[in-house]
Amino acid sequence: MSTPYAKLPGWVEYGLIPLVNLAVAFLVAGLVVLLVGENPFEAAYHLINGAFGRGEYIGFTLYYATTFIFTGLAVAVAFHAGLFNIGGEGQAYVGGIGVALACLWLDQVMPWYVVFPLAILGSAFFGAIWAFLPGWLQARRGSHIVITTIMFNFIASSLMVYLLTRVLKPLGSMAPQTRTFAEGGQLPKLDWLLSIFGLNVGTAPFNISFLLALAAAFAVWVLIWRTRLGYEMRTMGHSPSAARYAGIRESRIVVITMMISGGLAGMMALNPIMGEQFRMQLDFVQGAGFVGIAVALMGRSHPGGIIPAAILFGVLYQGGAEIAFEMPSISRDMIVIIQGLVILFAGALENMFRPPIARAFAMRGERAALVQTKGA
């Protein structure tokens, strides 16, 4: 028979449990720091200070967060339809082609606000194409999307090496990258946004694509919870048999969902290419596609959770770089360990602390009920 279902209050579900997970992750990370003979409190100080200490640091933190919002949303959209898109890395990489083409074509003749929308479309288009193929293969041939998207990451990587060494590289250059874009291919910084809070963005590449990421988060929320397509995606994600019963065509939903997911991943390319480097370089994605999986897990596939989760990973990236700089015995690999611990506790082990917390709340509720009955 049905197991009784204990529902936790929202602030516990979305606030307390993630916080406990995070606290444990940092505790274990602290032990690791202790193990290499460094002071964990000092490391924590550098982490926080490096991420928030100055306007410039905050700018960097939010720059990274922008990237992770896009890739996190990409993974989340697929999650809702029961699909595990591990190919965000490759989709973002290929999405860069769309950005680069728009910029290379128009950067010298048009202002950024003309180039930007085209670059958005281009990045989303190329990212969607790269996700369409695995989606189509799953819908038509039953090839598992986890396998195909991973393989497509490798194909994307080779494809981009080819393009950046043969096709998109300017003649005579030795570097595997496009030429640097002119003004039209450079996104304005959000210095004004930080200056509202009296902060100076400095050299941080915190740019307007952050606002695009926030808009995308809102759009994803609308898509999932307010549109018919989102309803069909969720139905399929929760229960494929119910979807079949409701006459929802699985293959159609798989393909469309993957394209939306890939499009979001592709839009990530705007941030580093148009916002920071002003050219497309080899390996500009730098693992952001995989971080997106952790962000989506931690944010429980809800845009409202993905944004803070993305900022947290922004903190880990920016603050982590600062630790490596300030405490030489903590290498970059140590930072990766700490990030890994966060992913482990917040993502993979997210349910570890749920039963004890749920039990504590059940007991509290009982006591409250007892008090009530006694009072009556």
Partner 1 sequence: MDDIAIELRGIDKSFGLVHANKNINLRVRKGTIHGIIGENGAGKSTLMSILYGFYQADSGEILVNGKSVAIRDPNTAISVGIGMVHQHFMLVENFTVLENVMLGAEDNQILNKGIAKARRELKRLEQEYALEVNPDALIEELPVGLQQRVEILKALYRKADILILDEPTGVLTPAEADHLFRILDQLKAQGKTIILITHKLREIMAITDEVSVMRRGEMVATRTTRETSVEELAELMVGRRVLLRVEKGESRPGDVKLAVQGLTVKDSRGVTMVDGVSFEVRAGEIVGIAGVAGNGQSELLEAIAGIRKPTAGTVLLNGRPADVAGHADPAELRSRGLAHVPEDRHHVGLVLKFEESENAILGYHRDPRYSNGVFLNIDAIRRDAEEKIGKYDIRPPNARLKTANFSGGNQQKIVLAREMERDPDVLIIGQPTRGVDVGAIEFIHKRIIEMRDQGKAVLLVSVELDEIRSLSDRILVMFAGRIVGERSPEATEGELGLLMAGVEGRKEAAE
Residues near partner 1, by CB under 8 A:
1-7, 222, 226-232, 234-235, 238-239, 241-242, 244-248, 358, 361-362, 365-366
Who contacts 240 (Cβ-Cβ below 8 Å, separation ≥6)?
A: 82, 250
Nearest approach, Cβ of 270 to partner 1 (angstroms)? Answer: 26
* Structural contact between residues 213 and 66, judged by C-beta atoms closer than 8 angstroms: yes
Task: Tell me how far the alpha carbon of residue 363 is from its chain's centroid.
Answer: 37
What are the structure tokens assigned to 37, written together? 């003979």
Smaller CB distance to partner 1: residue 80 or 179?
80
* Structural contact between residues 270 and 127, judged by C-beta atoms closer than 8 angstroms: no
Smaller CB distance to partner 1: residue 2 or 203?
2
Smaller CB distance to partner 1: residue 144 or 367?
367
Smaller CB distance to partner 1: residue 158 or 241?
241
Nearest approach, Cβ of 249 to partner 1 (angstroms)? Answer: 8
Measured from the Cβ of residue 108, the count of other Cβ atoms closer than 10 Å reads 12
74: closest CA among 232, 290, 233?
Answer: 290
Smaller CB distance to partner 1: residue 144 or 252?
252
Smaller CB distance to partner 1: residue 46 or 80?
80
Q: Which residue has the tokens 């903190």?
A: 315
Handedness of CA 283, 286, 287, 289 (dihedral sign): negative
Identify the helix (H) or strand (E) that includes residue 198: none
Smaller CB distance to partner 1: residue 289 or 303?
303
* Structural contact between residues 38 and 329, judged by C-beta atoms closer than 8 angstroms: yes
Nearest approach, Cβ of 79 to partner 1 (angstroms)? Answer: 13
Nearest approach, Cβ of 235 to partner 1 (angstroms)? Answer: 6
Nearest approach, Cβ of 94 to partner 1 (angstroms)? Answer: 28
For 286, counting Cβ atoms within 10 Å of its Cβ (0-12 exposed, 13-18 middle, 19+ buried), the class is: middle
Task: Tell me how far the alpha carbon of residue 46 is from its chain's centroid.
Answer: 24
Smaller CB distance to partner 1: residue 14 or 290?
14
Nearest approach, Cβ of 239 to partner 1 (angstroms)? Answer: 5
Beta bridge partners of 177: 281
Nearest approach, Cβ of 361 to partner 1 (angstroms)? Answer: 7
- Rg of the chain over Cα atoms, rounded to whole angstroms, equals 22
Nearest approach, Cβ of 348 to partner 1 (angstroms)? Answer: 21
* Structural contact between residues 84 and 145, judged by C-beta atoms closer than 8 angstroms: yes
Smaller CB distance to partner 1: residue 245 or 325?
245
Distance, in Å, from the CA atom of 17 to the CA atom of 7, rounded to the nearest integer, reads 13
Q: What are phi and psi of 351, to 5 degrees?
A: -95, 5
Who contacts 293 (Cβ-Cβ below 8 Å, separation ≥6)?
A: 75, 86, 88, 347
Nearest approach, Cβ of 230 to partner 1 (angstroms)? Answer: 8
